[in-house]
Amino acid sequence: MTITSEIRSNITKTYVFMAGFVAFVVLAAYVMGNALGYGNSWMFIAVLFSVISSFASYYWGADMVLAMSGARPADRKRDFDLFTVTENLAIAAGIPKPKLYVIDDTAMNAFATGRDPQHAVVCATSGLIDRLERRELEGVIAHELSHIKNFDTRLMAVVAILAGTIAFLADMFMRSLWWGGHRDRDRDNNLGGILLIVGIVLAILSPIVATMIQLAVSRKREFLADASGAYLTRYPEGLARALDKLHKDKEVLEAATNATAHLFITNPFKEKNFGAWFSSLFDTHPPIMERIKILRAM
Amino acid sequence: MNVLYIFGSAIVLLVLYIWSLYNGLVTLKMQIEEAWSQIDVQLKRRADLIPNLVNTVKGYAKHEKGIMDSVTKARASMLAAKSMGAKAKASDALSGALGKLLAIAENYPQLKANDSFIQLQKELSDTEDKVAYARQYYNTNVMMFNTKIQTFPNTLVNEMLGFPEKEFFGASDEERKAVKVNFE
């Protein structure tokens, strides 16, 4: 079964990613600590910090992501369609009903998060709930439940928090470079100079690397979630029509950040055209038209 | 000695295989039972909604007694059904009758505007979906179970384990989509 192997690979990737994050932060701390002349004292802090944030992203990643999006819990009466559609598809998928949240925003989008099906969260914007018909909403929710069932959400939540942390650290480093901190420059001028350059390169590279990892992680699993979602509803046209509507919606979702963009069903920023090739490297999602075409061919 | 090792490890492998097959089948069986109770819960939920619906419709459309009687009758026979096959059949009949009842509501603008009717209609169509999805989950699991016990070499071992084949719940998914009533 391909789904079982997909789950296994997601779980493994999560741990590999966490280990990679610890290694990256410790290495970066070594390079930057030396570049700034603090020596190896940063290493200890880096180990402690990266291990703690890895575990935190694993256990509380979903809560953090949710807090960042500013969502409210869904209500059965007020969000009847979202509530019941999720209940129904959870029955079909054989998983417990995830907790439901709504972002009050007229932009249309949705995401799922949580470390396993027992701790899952699905979040939709009120724009999505209002503007999609029930069958279309079913398509979107089925897509999200597939992410949960395949353990995509575990990996994606960890990636969101850790990649966000790297970006944050790089930012701090750049600032500290700007505002002084070049002590001990004369102690070992040559080595210090080289390390300073490496440090700057790392500081520039790390957010890019982080972003690339984040994107590589999410693109192909969108196709898989589309397919297994369609299998769940037995009605690919529902999701195809929903994606079409989302594609035509040009509104940007303010609640999304760089760290959380890849969680959403479609790119919350829409097109930010700065060179087609360059921006395609940073695309969090495969082109919607391609996804629709595949769904319609099912 | 060598022969003994080979023989011994063959037996160990065989035991491991039977062990994992047995556990896999038991897990699936539990899932099927759970799925079945889910269908039952949803059928009951739908049956509970019907008296209210019939009463509401009665208030506005007294002349449609025939259709209302057929709904009430279909509900009663569904509640009376014991076997799985009978339940599936009765459930489909009830879906059909309900579809007709809701279709005539189109002719009564006041009924259509009634708040509790709108609410009931929403709940009912949601419950129809729930029944359909519970059935889909159940049938998927039954299919996995039956495939598992019928494929080679599992089928040989199952002669010994003696798991009987499971019964599908009613119409296939394709047929189900066709009867499914869309209230939107």
- Whole-structure pTM value: 0.80
Measured distance CA(A138)–CA(A132) in Å, rounded: 9
A117 close to A217: Cβ distance less than 8 angstroms: no
Helix-helix angle B2-60:B84-104, to 10 degrees: 30
**Nearest CB to A91; choose among B38, B177, B184:** B38
Check whether B108 has a pLDDT greater than 90. Answer: no
* ipTM metric: 0.78
What is the CATH class of B2-179?
mainly alpha
Q: Which A-chain residues 43-82 have CB contacts (< 8 A) with chain B?
A: 80
Q: Across-strand partners of A264? A: A111
Distance from C-alpha of B137 to C-alpha of A93, rounded to nearest angstrom: 7
Provide the pLDDT for residue A212. 61
Give the nearest chain B residue to A134 (CA atoms).
B184
Please judge whether B130 and A234 are an interchain contact, meaning their C-beta atoms are less than 8 angstroms apart: no
Greatest mean pLDDT among A220-234, B21-35, B45-59, B96-110 lies in: B21-35
Contact A52, A213 (CB under 8 A): no
Q: Best residue in A87, A91, A231 to probe B by mutation, most B CBs within 10 Å? A: A91
A115 closest CA partner among A99, A132, A136: A99
At A259, which amino acid appears?
A
Average pLDDT of span A99-120: 92
Pick the range with the lowest mean pLDDT from A67-71, A262-266, A291-295. Answer: A262-266
Q: Give A-chain residues touching B122 at CB under 8 angstroms.
A: 80
A85: chain B residues, CB-CB within 8 Å? 129
Q: Does B24 touch chain A (CB under 8 A)?
A: no
User: Taking CB atoms and an 8 Å limit, are B129 and A84 in contact across chains?
Assistant: yes
pLDDT of residue A99: 94
Taking only the tens place, the pLDDT of each residue in B24-71 is 999 999 999 999 999 999 999 999 999 988 888 888 877 788 888 888
Report residue A74's pLDDT band, with 50, 70 and 90 as the boundaries.
very high
A144 is catalytic: yes
User: Can you read off the two tokens belonging to residue A105?
Assistant: 């925003």
Catalytic residue among A144, A237, A251, A271: A144
Out of A70-84, A135-149, A191-205, B161-175, which region has the weakest mean confidence (pLDDT)? A191-205
d(CA A181, CA A175): 10
Report d(CA A54, CA A60) in Å as an integer: 10
Which band of pLDDT confidence, cut at 50, 70 and 90, is reported for residue A176?
A: low
* Residue B31 sits at the chain A interface (C-beta within 8 Å): yes
Is the CATH number 3.40.630.30 carried by domain A68-152+217-296? no
Name the more confident of A20 and A125.
A125
Q: Can you give the pLDDT at residue A87?
A: 94
pLDDT, tens only, A2-57? 567 777 888 888 888 788 878 877 887 787 677 667 777 777 888 888 888 888 88
Q: Which pLDDT score, from 0 to 100, does residue A190 have?
A: 60
Q: What is the pLDDT of residue B102?
A: 84
Band of residue A276 on the pLDDT scale cut at 50, 70, 90: very low
Residue A80 above 60 pLDDT? yes
| Interchain CB contact of B112 with A (< 8 Å) | no
Q: In whole angstroms, how far apart are CA A67 and each of A64, A119, A252, A266?
A: 5, 15, 19, 20
Map out the domains of chain A as residue ranges. 2-66+155-215, 68-152+217-296
More confident position, B160 or B30: B30
- Whether A92 contacts chain B with CB within 8 A: yes
What is the mean pLDDT of the segment spanning B66-94?
88
Beta carbons of B133 and A84 less than 8 Å apart? no
Domain boundaries, chain B: 2-179
Sign of the four-CA dihedral A82, A84, A87, A93: negative
